[in-house]
Amino acid sequence: MSARILDGKALAARRRAALATRVAALQFRPGLCVVRVGDDPASGVYVRNKDRAAREAGFSSETLQLPENTTEAELLAVVKRLNGDASVDGILVQLPLPGHIRTEAVLDAIDPAKDVDGFHPVNQGALMLNRPGLVPCTPRGVMLLLEEAGVSPKGARAVVVGRSTIVGRPVSTLLLNADATVTTAHSRTRDLAAECRRAEILVAAVGRAGIIRGDWIAPGATVIDVGINRGADGKLVGDVAYAEALPHAGAITPVPGGVGPMTIACLLENTLEAALARRAG
């Protein structure tokens, strides 16, 4: 049997349309500001897509494009200004930043109430404590895809491959908060294949094309592929060897068209949440 394909593009489109309806009924326009430093081409695509999606949903959206040689102090000054700008509800600094800028210093400078990426330690801490806060967008998208697939994490054995602070760790925490039994695997995991084979829910967030092989997937498992890698032929591929995985998995997200579009839908949802929370005082 072939796996059911979990269509993130369609789910994201539905959520963005629902969001636009909610925004149209508001007395104000939520404001998003995305800051891009340098010329990373992939970041350019993502930032343009965020801006377009935000405008389509009825937000006011601004992109600040700063040159590659922007200093850390200059970027911190921009963040500080946006923190104090009442028209801005959400601030996002596109990653990766040029190597001479300390990412942590910049993320820590964003007002947690405007941190629509959910990367600030206050929001990451809230997530760890299972308290309200802004949740990182890609991890939030992973949970929504599971919900859409009708897959409950409660009591399930979940394996997350990858321990980055922007995806792996928060996904593990969200799954734990949803009562899954979670293993976080990583580059030092002794027998990665064996860990993956135990998973009823397998989330791949490594950033290496096709590292998760088909025979690492338990029969009927739900596979969420967060990886977005460019193959030698220029095409986008995930961390999961997709064709190999199809006969094993019960459900699987494609790349492209799976988790990626959910990241942007969740960014808009976080921005609306931040806007409403700020106005509620």
Ligand X SMILES: Nc1nc2c(c(=O)[nH]1)N[C@@H](CN(C=O)c1ccc(C(=O)N[C@@H](CCC(=O)O)C(=O)O)cc1)CN2
Cα diameter, the chain: 56
Q: How far apart are CA 189 and CA 180, in angstroms?
A: 20
- Tell me whether residue 50 is one of the annotated catalytic residues: yes
Q: How far apart are CA 4 and CA 220, in angstroms?
A: 10
Smallest distance from ligand X to CB 229, Å: 11
Smallest distance from ligand X to CB 230, Å: 8
Catalytic annotation, pick one of 89, 114, 115, 117? 117
Smallest distance from ligand X to CB 50, Å: 7
Asked if residue 224 belongs to a known ligand binding site, the reply is: no
Residues that bind ligand X (CB under 6 A): 45-46, 92-95, 117, 137-138, 228, 236, 255-257, 260-261, 263-264
Looking at the Cβ atoms of 149 and 218, the one nearer to ligand X is: 149
Looking at the Cβ atoms of 30 and 90, the one nearer to ligand X is: 90
Q: How far apart are CA 103 and CA 106, in angstroms?
A: 5
Catalytic annotation, pick one of 94, 115, 124, 225? 94
Query: Parallel, antiparallel, or unpaired: how do β-strands 31-37 and 60-66 relate?
Result: parallel
Looking at the Cβ atoms of 47 and 202, the one nearer to ligand X is: 47
- Helix ranges (DSSP H) in 91-230: 103-109, 121-128, 137-148, 168-177, 192-197
Query: CA distances (Å), 113 to each of 64, 105, 168, in order?
Result: 20, 17, 23
Looking at the Cβ atoms of 117 and 200, the one nearer to ligand X is: 117
- Tell me whether residue 89 is one of the annotated catalytic residues: no
Query: CA distances (Å), 148 to each of 126, 186, 216, in order?
Result: 25, 27, 24
Smallest distance from ligand X to CB 66, Å: 14
CB 67 within 8 A of CB 38: yes
Q: How far apart are CA 233 and CA 231, in angstroms?
A: 5
Smallest distance from ligand X to CB 107, Å: 9
Catalytic annotation, pick one of 50, 114, 124, 239? 50
Asked if residue 162 belongs to a known ligand binding site, the reply is: yes
Number of residues that this document lists for the chain:
281
- Tell me whether residue 124 is one of the annotated catalytic residues: no
Residue 166: both structure tokens together? 């922007």
Asked if residue 234 belongs to a known ligand binding site, the reply is: no
Looking at the Cβ atoms of 30 and 136, the one nearer to ligand X is: 136
Query: CA distances (Å), 237 to each of 8, 39, 75, 230, in order?
Result: 15, 23, 33, 6
Asked if residue 228 belongs to a known ligand binding site, the reply is: yes
> By beta-carbon distance, which residue lies closest to ligand X?
260
Q: How far apart are CA 80 and CA 257, in angstroms?
A: 35
Pick out the residues of the known binding site: 162-164, 228
Q: List residues with catalytic annotation.
A: 50, 94, 117
Pick out the residues of the known binding site for NADP(+): 162-164, 228
